[in-house]
Structure 1
Amino acid sequence: MKSRLHFMGIGGQGISAVAQMAQAAGDSVTGCDQRESATVHALRKAGIAIQIGHSAEHLNDVDTLVISPAVPALDPQNPELLAARERGLPIVTWQEILGDLMLDKCVLSISGVHGKGTTTAMLSLMLVDAGLDPTCEIGAVVPRFGANYRLGKSSYFVNEADEFNHNFWHYHPRLVIVTSIEFEHPEFFADYEAFLAAFEHFIRGMDMQGIGRYPRQSL
Structure 2
Amino acid sequence: MAPAIPAAMERPHFIGIGGAGMSGIAKILAQRGAKVAGSDAKDSPTAEALRAHGVTVHIGHAADHLADDASAVVVSSAIRADNPELARAAELGIPVVHRSDALASLMDGLAAIAVAGTHGKTTTTSMLAVALTELGADPSYAIGGDLAGPGTNARHGAGEVFVAEADESDRSFQKYDPQVAIVLNVELDHHANYASMDEIYESFEKFAAKIRPGGTLVVGEHAGARELARRVAAEGRQDLAVVTVGEGEDSDARILRIVPNGMKSEVTVALDGTEHTFTVSVPGRHYAHNAAAALAAGARAGLDPAALAQALTAYTGVGRRLQLKGEAAGVQVIDSYAHHPTEMTADLEAMRGAAGGSRLLVVFQPHLFSRTQELGKEMGDALALADASVVLDIYPAREDPIPGVTSELILDAARAAGADVTAVHDKTAVPGTIAGMVRPGDFVLTMGAGDVTDLGPQILARLAN
Asked if Structure 1 and Structure 2 have the same fold, meaning a TM-score greater than 0.5 normalized by the shorter chain, the answer is yes
Query: Partners of 1:189 and 1:169 in 2: how far apart?
Result: 15
Q: 2:74 aligned with 1:66, yes or no? A: yes
Tell me which structure has the larger Cα radius of gyration: 2
TM-superposed CA distance for 1:87, in Å, is 2.1
Correspondence for 2:47 among 40, 61, 70: 40
8 Å contact kept, 1:180–1:218: no
Deviates more, 1:35-44 or 1:21-30: 21-30
TM-superposed CA distance for 1:76, in Å, is 2.0
Query: Partners of 1:88 and 1:189 in 2: how far apart?
Result: 32
Structure 2 partner of 1:22: 29
Q: 2:111 aligned with 1:102, yes or no? A: no
Structure 2 partner of 1:141: 146
Q: 2:65 aligned with 1:53, yes or no? A: no
Q: 2:190 aligned with 1:185, yes or no? A: yes
Provide the aligned length of Structure 1 versus Structure 2.
Answer: 216
TM-superposed CA distance for 1:167, in Å, is 1.2
Query: Partners of 2:156 and 2:38 in 1: how far apart?
Result: 20
8 Å contact kept, 1:33–1:53: yes
TM-superposed CA distance for 1:70, in Å, is 2.2
Query: Partners of 1:163 and 1:180 in 2: how far apart?
Result: 11
Provide the secondary structure at the position in 2 that maps to 1:32: strand
Structure 1 partner of 2:81: 76
Which structure 2 residue ranges, 5 or more long, are not aligned? 1-6, 229-465
TM-superposed CA distance for 1:4, in Å, is 1.2
Q: What code does the residue aligned with 1:146 have?
A: G
- Aligned ranges 1:109-120 → 2 under 5 Å: 109-120=114-125
Query: Partners of 1:193 and 1:85 in 2: how far apart?
Result: 36
8 Å contact kept, 2:111–2:161: yes
Q: What code does the residue aligned with 1:78 have?
A: N
Structure 2 partner of 1:208: 213
TM-superposed CA distance for 1:157, in Å, is 0.5
Q: What code does the residue aligned with 1:210 have?
A: G
Provide the secondary structure at the position in 2 that maps to 1:40: helix
Q: 2:29 aligned with 1:3, yes or no? A: no
Provide the secondary structure at the position in 1 that maps to 2:171: helix
Deviation by residue 1:149-187 (Cα, 9 ceiling, x = unmatched): 122111100011010221111211000111111111110
TM-superposed CA distance for 1:192, in Å, is 1.0
Structure 1 partner of 2:227: 218
8 Å contact kept, 2:30–2:53: no
8 Å contact kept, 2:27–2:155: no
Q: What code does the residue aligned with 2:156 have?
A: L
Query: Partners of 2:25 and 2:155 in 1: how far apart?
Result: 10
8 Å contact kept, 1:7–1:19: yes
TM-superposed CA distance for 1:120, in Å, is 0.7
Provide the secondary structure at the position in 2 that maps to 1:176: strand
- What root-mean-square deviation, in Å, do the aligned CA atoms of Structure 1 and Structure 2 show? 1.3
Query: Partners of 1:26 and 1:102 in 2: how far apart?
Result: 16
8 Å contact kept, 2:141–2:156: yes
8 Å contact kept, 1:181–1:215: no
Provide the secondary structure at the position in 2 that maps to 1:70: coil
Query: Partners of 1:83 and 1:191 in 2: how far apart?
Result: 37
Q: 2:92 aligned with 1:87, yes or no? A: yes
Structure 1 partner of 2:137: 132
Q: What code does the residue aligned with 1:50 have?
A: V
TM-superposed CA distance for 1:122, in Å, is 0.8
TM-superposed CA distance for 1:36, in Å, is 0.8
Query: Partners of 2:143 and 2:39 in 1: how far apart?
Result: 21
Identity %: 37
